[in-house]
């Protein structure tokens, strides 16, 4: 089981409290689709993703980004039980959605970048970065867990 | 060989020009040691790295970060020739310093995060894509002499 120090718990919960999922989620997903364009294959039903501007203005991308980011709330509230918290979601991404689990890692990267850009170095300090990236890597691992 | 468009070249240069090596360099190295603490194994001679406060205050950490960032200048000015530009440095890290090449990827991550902190929304998704392509070419070049 993952061990969290008190400082890490505080950093994760503190940072989460400042994050507006409606703001960061859409940005992170847009960046994923622009920086790692093969990710677009999962979103054929979203309409126009043909240019960066189209992606950034696409309301389905924005909504989905908000949904995914909001899903992190479960992990923040269940830091000691992330694997079980995401077991069903992991199975769904594997068996139903057929999402390559490496995409969880790159989405986590985009989320961290958006958070860094939003809050700057005085809030997203090295210490906070450590806790946040550790947290996201546990989430990524949990989401990949049910894959065979 | 990596192909670069004119837009990619000018974007990398524009980002690089805005980077203050003294300011960014020291932050980057502190982040590597704090976010990925196993990298401390390479810096036994740096003195006190036992706490986050110590790392943030450590002059050798700051100096090393600035030195590494200065070396990125070579990549910016030799985008068509990165492997050859970094061949000697790659061999040094492999044969003499025995640095795990995965560390280059971790460093690239911290550089990108530090830049994002500094530039905020000015690091647009397009710029991010270009910067990450550039930095992963640097990581490849630094890993190229490893066998």
The answer to whether residue B91 sits within a structural domain is yes
Output the pTM of the full model.
0.88
| B117 vs A52, A120, A127: nearest CB | A120
Average pLDDT per run of 10 along chain A, which is 148 residues long? 94 98 97 93 93 96 96 96 95 90 94 97 97 97 88
ipTM value of the model?
0.80
pLDDT tens per residue, range B61-74: 999 999 999 999 99
Mean pLDDT in chain B?
Answer: 94
Say which residues have a Cβ less than 8 Å from residue A51's Cβ, sequence separation at least 6.
none
- Contact (Cβ atoms closer than 8 angstroms) between residue A10 and residue A53: no
The answer to whether residue B47 sits within a structural domain is yes
- Contact (Cβ atoms closer than 8 angstroms) between residue A2 and residue A81: no
Low-confidence spans in chain B with pLDDT less than 50: none
Domain containing residue B106: CATH number: 1.10.490.10
CA distance A122 to A1: 31
Residue in B8, B35, B106, B130 to test binding to A, most A beta-carbons within 10 Å: B35
Q: Give pLDDT, residue A147.
A: 85
Burial B73-93 (b: 16+ CB within 10 A, else e): eebbeebeebbebbeeebeeb
The answer to whether residue B102 sits within a structural domain is yes
| Domain count of the fold of chain B | 1
What residue ranges do the domains of chain A occupy?
Answer: 4-142
The answer to whether residue B106 sits within a structural domain is yes
| Parent domain of B21 | 6-143
The answer to whether residue B1 sits within a structural domain is no
Q: Say if B123 is an interface residue toward chain A (CB within 8 Å).
A: yes
Q: Report domain A4-142's class.
A: mainly alpha
The answer to whether residue B35 sits within a structural domain is yes
């Amino acid at each position: 089981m993952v061990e969290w120090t008190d400082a890490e718990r505080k950093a994760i919960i503190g940072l989460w409290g400042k994050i507006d999922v409606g703001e960061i989620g859409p940005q992170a997903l847009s960046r994923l689709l622009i920086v790692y364009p093969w990710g677009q294959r999962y979103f054929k039903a979203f309409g126009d993703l043909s240019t960066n501007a189209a992606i950034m203005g696409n309301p389905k991308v924005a909504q989905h980004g908000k949904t995914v980011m909001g899903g992190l709330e479960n992990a923040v509230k269940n830091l000691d039980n992330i694997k079980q918290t995401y077991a069903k979601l992991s199975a769904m991404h594997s068996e139903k959605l057929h999402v390559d689990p490496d995409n969880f890692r790159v989405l986590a990267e985009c989320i961290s970048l958006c958070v860094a850009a939003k809050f700057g170095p005085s809030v997203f300090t090295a210490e906070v970065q450590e806790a946040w990236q550790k947290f996201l890597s546990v989430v990524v691992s949990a989401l990949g867990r049910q894959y065979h | 060989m990596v192909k670069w468009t004119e837009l990619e070249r000018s974007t990398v240069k524009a980002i690089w020009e805005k980077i203050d090596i003294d300011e960014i360099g020291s932050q980057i190295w502190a982040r590597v040691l704090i976010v990925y603490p196993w990298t401390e194994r390479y810096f036994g001679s740096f003195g006190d790295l036992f706490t986050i406060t110590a790392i943030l205050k450590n002059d050798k950490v700051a100096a090393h970060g600035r030195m590494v960032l200065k070396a990125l200048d070579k990549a910016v000015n030799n985008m068509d020739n990165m492997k050859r530009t970094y061949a000697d440095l790659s061999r040094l890290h492999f044969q003499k310093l025995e640095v795990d090449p995965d560390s280059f990827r971790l460093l690239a991550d911290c550089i990108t995060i530090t830049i994002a902190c500094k530039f905020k929304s000015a690091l647009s998704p397009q710029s991010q894509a270009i910067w990450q392509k550039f930095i992963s070419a640097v990581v490849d070049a630094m890993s190229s002499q490893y066998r």
